[in-house]
Structure 1
Amino acid sequence: MSYNVTVDAEKCVGCSECVDVCPVEVYELQNEKSVPVNEEECLGCESCIEVCEHDAITVEEA
């Protein structure tokens, strides 16, 4: 199963919590914002959503 991972740049504050918690390194910080660079690796565990205090991340089944 694959997932669409979206980060709302307006809401993202670049705290890197999602980068740290993701078990498969989907995210990386670019220009002080989180960017899903390995979206195809997403397991759909939603750990990133749980740690994001700004509701900037969406993970949906593709």
Structure 2
Amino acid sequence: MAFNPIVDADKCEGCEECVDVCPVEVFELQDGKSVPVNAEECLGCESCIEVCEPNAIVIEET
């Protein structure tokens, strides 16, 4: 099973919490917003969801 993290850029505040907490470095800040640049590495642990105050991240199972 694979996981696909999706960031709602309209909700993302660019706090970098998801960048810091992700154990496999899925996220990177680009133009002040989080972008899942290594989405294929996502483990589905949902650590990013837990630290995202504006609820800008969802993870889909693929």
Tell me if TM exceeds 0.5: yes
TM-score normalised according to structure 1 size: 0.98
Aligned-residue identity in percent? 74
Q: Distance in 1 between matches of 2:46 and 2:4?
A: 12
Q: Which amino acid aligns with 1:51?
A: V
Structure 1: 5+ residue stretches without partners: none
Q: Which residue type is aligned with residue 26 of structure 1?
A: V
The equivalences for 1:1-62 within 5 A come to 1-62=1-62
- Report how many residues are paired: 62
SS in 1 for 2:45: coil
TM-score by length of 2: 0.98
Deviation at 1:49, TM superposition (A): 0.1
Q: Which runs of 4+ in 1 moved over 2 A?
A: none
